[in-house]
Every structure is written in C-alpha cells, then in structure tokens.
A = this chain, B = another copy of it.
Amino acid sequence: MASTLEPVATIDPSAWVCPLPLRDYPAIVIGHGGGGVLSAELVEHVFLPAFGNAALDALGDAAVLPLAGAEATGRLAFTTDSFVVRPLFFPGGCVGDLAINGTVNDLAMRGARPKWLSAGFILEEGLPMATLGAIVQRMAAAARAAGVQIVAGDTKVVERGHGDGCYINTSGIGVIDAGVEIGPSRARPGDVVLVSGSIGDHGMAIMSVREGLSFESAIVSDCQPLHGLVDAVLSAVPPGAVRVLRDPTRGGLAASLTEIAQASQVGIALDEARIPVHGPVASACELLGLDPMHVANEGKAVAIVDAAAADAALSAMRAHPAGREAARIGVVTAEHPRMLVSRTAIGATRVVAPALGEQLPRIC
C-alpha cells in the first residue's frame, strides 16, 4: 500500500481578475444566457481569452474540424448546446425535441450532414419517471426524423431544489462535403438575405403557456430539423453561392443578423414588411411590447446568398416542407458596416440593436 501524497495548492477563486468591460457585473445575471450583448461579452472576455483557437474564434453555430492525419481525413462540424427550457413541455414539442433539433440545426448551419449526437442529462431528484420517459421518447423520434444516432450519453442527478426537472446537453458531429464553405464571415455586399419562414413562433409559444396567455389561435413552436431544407438549397445553387446560414434561436433574427454583420464587416438592411410573422404571434408581441425580431425560433434558417442564386435558393426553400413560407427579406450592403437596419412599413429606417440580455428567459 503506497502512501505518498503530493501537496497541491488549494485554488483561490478570488485570485481571478475580472476583465473589463464586463459592465461591472460582479456576478452572473439571467441576461448572460440570453444570446444578446451580455452573452457576447461573456464569450469575448471570459471564454475566448481562456480557450481561444481558430475553430472556436470563428464563433459559428458549429466548429469546423479538419481531420488530416494518416488515420482520418475529412472535415467535421462539431457543436454543443444545453437546453433548460421552462416548462419542459410546450405547444409543439418539449425539451427533448429542442435538444435534438437544436443541435441538428447547428450542424446544418455549417452545411454539414448531421450524423451523431450525444445526450447528457442533469436530472433533479423527484422528476417523475414518466416525464423522463416521455422526453426520451420524443428525443428518439426526433433523432429518427433527422436521421441522426444518439451514440453517447451521461446522466447526473442533483438534489431536489438544485435543478429544474431536466436539463439536457446535446453535442453533435456532422460531416461537411467537399466544396461546401459556409460561415458567418462570408457575407458580401450585394448578397440577398432569405428567411425560411415565419419568425417568433417558438418564443411566443413558450411565453403564452408560461404566462397562461390565450389568444384566438394557439401559438405553436416551430421546432423542427432544418438539415433537409439546407440540403435542398445547397443542391439548387452553384457551389459557394450560399455564404452564410444561421438559425435565429436565442436573440432572434436581430441577434443572428447582427452577428453576421459584425463577423463579415458588412451592413445588412431589412425590409420589415417582407418578414413573415404569423398573425397570433404579431398580436401577442404587440400585447407584450416585444419585437418579433428579438424572439427565438427553433425551426427557421436565415440564409445569405449570392444575388444571382437568390431566386433559385428561395424556390428550393419554398418547395421544402420546412420552408413553405420562405421570403426574401433584405440585402447585404457596404454601408453602415457591422450594423443591422430595418426599413419599417411607413418607410422609415431604424437601427436594430441586439438585446442587452434576455426578453424571454429560458426559452431553449
């Protein structure tokens, strides 16, 4: 029996010097998870300085990984997302659907074919077994529908009061075909902005059930996989014509397009009247004082495409079941670089800034 123990210094968290500017937040606030300015600051000032590397710095929906050794070749996409939606079940889906489709979509947004997912559960003591069972069955069905396999898993249990029923992390691996080059920094002035359908459905579906609001029509989450739609668009246009794909989840269309404008050093100008919004969603947003452009989606893609290929890309979207309401909503411009502007219905132009924090916490 050996008995040598090496002394290891105890870690002192107070030794860490908080980088400026973290807006003088000495502690995490809900908005740090909201996909807006606070989230971006956390990434820029805490995570990137510590972890930074070329794949992470690209800040795409998924990292692109080159396999170039003797033992493996090709390009992979790799992504991770944790899902903490409240409530666990909502009109149109549950946390399990989100966990599968969210990660499938992050891979699709790099033009990758989604193949393998992991599922990590953090369960709260007391979660009814039937609730877990129902979530898991929805995940299995969503994985089948998206053509992916769940190949790795982990379960942790935390004490009552230290969780919220069920948190799920899914990470995913996809394979990127040769010639596919899609990323947030590839938008160019003159490109066209397409959206694959109506915006705001997911966030308002969560909001309506959480707040007990009722509207004349039920609002249903748009949670769905988008890899098929992406495949249809890529097949319909010349190689390279699709510059950027993004699924506007937390932070909505406003956050996604602002991130693209910043990464590509271009301006983006939207024609607000062309952006599809379902009637009940528009009404609910008006009632609650929310802008649909900031509301989360879980089954929509925004695509920046070469103007010459825009009609073909739009037709391909509309021919796909997940893109029947697709629309051309704006253009990329050399003016006002790094900014998103929107021409309103009455012809005025406004700057659309991403939200500081979170309009609707925990929608995914």
Specify the chain B residue showing the minimal Cβ separation from A72: B74
Task: Please determine whether A78 and B8 come into contact, CB atoms closer than 8 angstroms.
Answer: no
Q: Which residue of B lies closest to A161 (CB)?
A: B161
Q: Taking the complex as formed, is A218 at the interface, i.e. its CB lies under 8 A from any CB of chain B?
A: yes
Asked whether any CB of chain B lies closer than 8 Å to the CB of A62, the reply is yes
Contact (Cβ within 8 A) B155 A42: yes
On whether the beta carbons of B169 and A120 are closer than 8 Å, the reply is yes
Task: Specify which of B39, B69, B157 is in contact with A175 (CB 8 Å cutoff).
Answer: B69
Supposing A76-B173, A175-B67 touch, asked if A28 and B129 sit within 8 A by C-beta, the answer is: yes
Whether a CB of chain B sits under 8 angstroms from the CB of A287 is no
Instruction: Name which of A14, A138, A152, A282 has the most chain B CB atoms within 10 A of its CB.
Output: A152
Nearest residue (CB) in B for A128 is B27
In the bound complex, residues from chain B placing their C-beta under 8 Å from that of A164 are: 158, 162-163
- In the complex, whether A348 has a CB less than 8 A from a CB of chain B is no
Q: With contacts A80-B154, A158-B84 known, is A13 near B149, CB below 8 A? A: no
- The answer, yes or no, to whether A183 is at the interface (CB within 8 Å) is no
Residue interface mask A1-37, B partner, CB < 8 A = 1 = 1111111101111111111001001111111111000
- A50 touching B140 in the complex, CB below 8 Å, given contacts A18-B130, A72-B67, A93-B11: yes
Taking CB atoms, residues of chain B closer than 8 Å to A74 are 67, 69, 71-74
Query: Interface 1/0s, chain A 311-347, versus B by CB < 8 A?
Result: 0000000000000010000000000000000000000
Question: By the criterion CB–CB under 8 Å, are B72 and A175 in contact?
Answer: yes
Give A155-184 interface residues, CB cut-off 8 Å to B.
155-159, 161-164, 167, 169, 171, 173, 175-178
**Contact among B5, B13, B18, B162 with A280 in the assembled complex (CB-CB below 8 Å):** B5
Given the complex, which residues of B lie within 8 Å of A63, measured CB to CB?
116, 118, 151-152
Docked complex Cα distance between A173 and B117 (Å): 12
List the B side residues contacting A82 at CB < 8 Å.
120-122, 154, 156, 169
User: What are the residues of chain B within 8 A of A150 when measuring CB–CB?
Assistant: 51, 53, 56
Quick check: B91 and A279 within 8 Å, CB to CB? no
Chain A interface, >50% SS class = mixed
B89 in contact with A11 (CB, 8 Å): yes
Question: Are A80 and B162 in contact, CB atoms less than 8 angstroms apart?
Answer: no
Report chain B residues within 8 Å CB of A149.
Answer: 51, 53, 55-56
Within 8 A of B (CB), among A71-101: 71-76, 78-84, 89, 91-94
* A210-242 Cβ-contact flags toward B at 8 Å (1 or 0): 000000011111000000000000000000000
Q: Which residues of B contact A81 (CB under 8 A)?
A: 120, 154
- B3–A153 CB distance below 8 A: no
- Taken together as a complex, chains A and B put the C-alpha atoms of A340 and B132 apart, in Å, by 32
The 4 closest A-B pairs by CB, nearest first: A72-B74, A33-B157, A80-B118, A171-B171
Additional A-B contact list (13), CB under 8 Å, known A56-B149, A69-B175, A71-B74: A11-B89, A11-B93, A25-B129, A28-B126, A32-B157, A33-B155, A33-B157, A56-B153, A72-B74, A81-B120, A81-B154, A82-B169, A167-B167
